[in-house]
Structure 1
Amino acid sequence: MSYTLMLLRRTLIASIIILCANSLLAQTNVQDQKFPSISLNPFSDSSRHWYGIRDDHNIINPSFNQPKYKESEITNIADNILLYQRDNGGWPKNYDVQAILTPQQADSLIKTKGMVHTTFDNSTTYTHVDYLAQVYTITHIEKYKNACKKGIRFIISAQYPNGGWPQYYPLEKGYSRHITFNDGAYIGVMEVLRKIVNNDANYSFIDNKLRKEIEVAYQKGIDCILKTQIVDKGRLTVWCQQHDEVTLKPAWARAFEPPCICNGESVGIVLFLMDIKNPDQKIINSVQSAVKWFQESKILNTRVETIKAAPEKSNWRTSTTDRVVVIDSLAPPIWTRYYEQETDRPMFSDRNSKILYSLSEVSRERRSGYGWYTYAPQDVLKKYPKWQKKWASNENILEK
């Protein structure tokens, strides 16, 4: 072989080696790269349920000392989210996206891709969509963008023509068909849609066609919020935890969650409305009415104390604490979660659906295991003066 041919051959081999090396570098596992962390707080409710409440209906249950990815291992966590995502674009609830799954656990999830028991309950689906959008913005890995868009389409598909969202979609039997404000489900969906409508950088990949569909869904969502605000004795108040999907009236959910004026979930709704840019008069009136209700329904000289108690086992849980209402002249304003329509009386209930009017009447399991009182309306009252000066400068509800 001539020297020239040998030189050409060596040059060619060297070029191939360089090309292969560059290809290998390009294909380096992204999990080995360092990325900024993304908060996993939005998933804490589902994670808490997975570890804390054994559910034989779960596809997988946690193993002993289940290992977890670090919060900075965002592609591993995003891959978990893709694994949990169903073929219809939604997610099941009560799993830990941070868990390092065993091959058997992963295989079990893959086999359930075709199931349609998908939900917005316990901060599900909309949180997954938002996480994937952030991961795609950081990594530009196409599969995360595609899964995110699939989740957004699921959200749009799940919306009722009247603008509300059920707890589960596709629709199932029972109260999960109701428009669900409970646990922030409705507002969680709306906050993700608002990010897109407001051109949040993490959603810059959304194409114009999908963006227009989202804008329509978002506006319908606002309209439904306004239509479901409870009119009681001729005045606008706030909302119930869930509203009938046809009549839009307050509706029963679980046995101890009656149709009523519900201060707990209403706070998130009002705070959402207060953050709307350039609100129209309907939104302004809605906020004004809700603030007035919060002001009028506050309870003074009262606090709720959690005390230790002898273990008491029930069909649902073992209670080791109790709650008692204490008179305290120094206590800040407090509100009950429920108020009875027509009478405005603080209202409670139990697993037998009986309507009660004091916490002491509630069975201990529910008395200590449910949030019957709340300080949350104070967040609205605190934010109101600044909002009022900007959008309702001629009418300060709190000064009346």
Structure 2
Amino acid sequence: MKTKLYILALVLTGFNGFSQVKDTLAEKILIYQLPIGGWGKQLDDKSVVNYNLPIDEVLLKRIKKTGNDHATIDNNATSKEINALIKAFKITKNPDYLKSAEKGIKYLLLMQYKNGGFPQYYPNTGLYRKQITYNDNAMINALMVLYNVAAGKNDFDVIVDYHIKQQSKIAVQKGIECILKTQVLQKGILSIWADQYNEITLQPDKARAFEPISLATGESVGIVRFLMMQPITPEIEKSIRSAIKWFQENKLNGYSYNVAKQNGKAVRILAEDKSSVIWARFYDINNNKPLFGDRDGSVKYNYNEVSEERRNGYSWFGDAPAKLIDKEYSKWIGENNLPE
């Protein structure tokens, strides 16, 4: 037992035969990396990955049993770890961190579809996991990593492998093409984007029971921000302007949405507030009415008709488009000398 614990201690401290490295976040990330190169958000169907937990012998065994089917870009998984490893390498120059990050980048390149989209999971294709996923910024997070690799930005200048950089550049371009193709047309007019898309037809699709086919505001804000970082083409400019126009036309004036404590429980409250502007999380893909999904797969157009569990267990409104419209879009227009 002492020998096993000693070996575990060496793994956690990064022993290299001559010196030891402190037990950092990066050291734990190395251990959690799956054989395919990505990371999971869960160890199994119940346990969420928590890097704050100390890694003892029991936890180490559970980590080693985690299979590739858990590899995902959902909930910031994989992109979060790659970013952390790059920062750690920048500081420590530990080659293991760079090697692990590059393996993670290769995983992102591997999982991308030929049409440029990214599934939520890879190689797991169960349920909605194979769908092209903008939900929770999954695809945009992956593309941001590859964009930084290709451009050598945000500490990613440490990636010097020419092949990885070139592949990342191509992947970003394919991703942009997919984004432009999936912007929803409403009677010939571009609007914003849905949460998920069929990976073959590129048509909007539903995911979990309470995530119906719809336009997704929060994710669309992330998509527009990503497009604003790219060299301007007529297609990108039209896409951005159309999305901004849609946001401007579909805001909900006079409401606020906040989390409060009631009887010791967190509840989400939609209330009248003349000074506030918000957007629904989801809008009907045809008529732009705010809509809400429930556990039973039903779609509601009245927020108060949503079950209490889903009303308080999911964020149905937000104000993310406000900053995009009021500040970022104007800045983008000015920096690129574009007409208002």
Task: Give the 3 Å change call, closer, same or farther, for CA 258–199 of structure 1 in structure 2.
Answer: same
The alignment of Structure 1 onto Structure 2 pairs a total of residues equal to 318
Amino acid of the structure 2 residue aligned with 1:29: Q
Contact between 1:133 and 1:203, CA under 8 Å: does it hold in 2? no
Match of 1:326?
271
Task: Give the 3 Å change call, closer, same or farther, for CA 205–338 of structure 1 in structure 2.
Answer: closer
Match of 2:184?
230
Question: Per-residue deviation at 1:153?
Answer: 0.8
Task: Give the 3 Å change call, closer, same or farther, for CA 308–138 of structure 1 in structure 2.
Answer: closer
Task: Give the 3 Å change call, closer, same or farther, for CA 25–362 of structure 1 in structure 2.
Answer: closer
Segments of structure 1 that go 5 or more residues without pairing to the other structure are: 1-23, 32-72, 312-319
Task: Give the 3 Å change call, closer, same or farther, for CA 354–136 of structure 1 in structure 2.
Answer: same
Residues in 1 aligned to 2:261 and 2:99: alpha-carbon distance in whole angstroms: 50
Match of 1:314?
none
Question: Per-residue deviation at 1:360?
Answer: 0.4
Question: Per-residue deviation at 1:280?
Answer: 1.2
Secondary structure at the counterpart of residue 30 of structure 1? coil
Cα deviations by residue, 1:143-170 (Å, 9 ceiling, x for unpaired)? 2221111111111000001001111000
Amino acid of the structure 1 residue aligned with 2:248: Q
Contact between 2:134 and 2:196, CA under 8 Å: does it hold in 1? yes
Residues in 1 aligned to 2:94 and 2:268: alpha-carbon distance in whole angstroms: 50
Task: Give the 3 Å change call, closer, same or farther, for CA 392–105 of structure 1 in structure 2.
Answer: same
Secondary structure at the counterpart of residue 69 of structure 2? coil
Pick from 4, 29, 53: which aligns with 1:99? 53
Pick from 9, 25, 28: which aligns with 2:19? 28
Amino acid of the structure 2 residue aligned with 1:389: G
Residues in 1 aligned to 2:61 and 2:130: alpha-carbon distance in whole angstroms: 31
Match of 2:299?
355
Q: Percent identity of the aligned residues?
A: 37
Match of 1:41?
none
Residues in 2 aligned to 1:323 and 1:104: alpha-carbon distance in whole angstroms: 38
Segments of structure 2 that go 5 or more residues without pairing to the other structure are: 1-14, 42-47
Task: Give the 3 Å change call, closer, same or farther, for CA 115–169 of structure 1 in structure 2.
Answer: closer
Contact between 2:159 and 2:165, CA under 8 Å: does it hold in 1? no
Question: Per-residue deviation at 1:141?
Answer: 2.0
Amino acid of the structure 2 residue aligned with 1:377: P
Match of 1:36?
none
Secondary structure at the counterpart of residue 270 of structure 1? helix
Secondary structure at the counterpart of residue 122 of structure 1? helix
**Backbone CA RMSD of aligned residues:** 2.1
Question: Per-residue deviation at 1:139?
Answer: 2.0
Amino acid of the structure 1 residue aligned with 2:181: K
Amino acid of the structure 2 residue aligned with 1:261: L
Match of 1:194?
147
Larger radius of gyration: 1
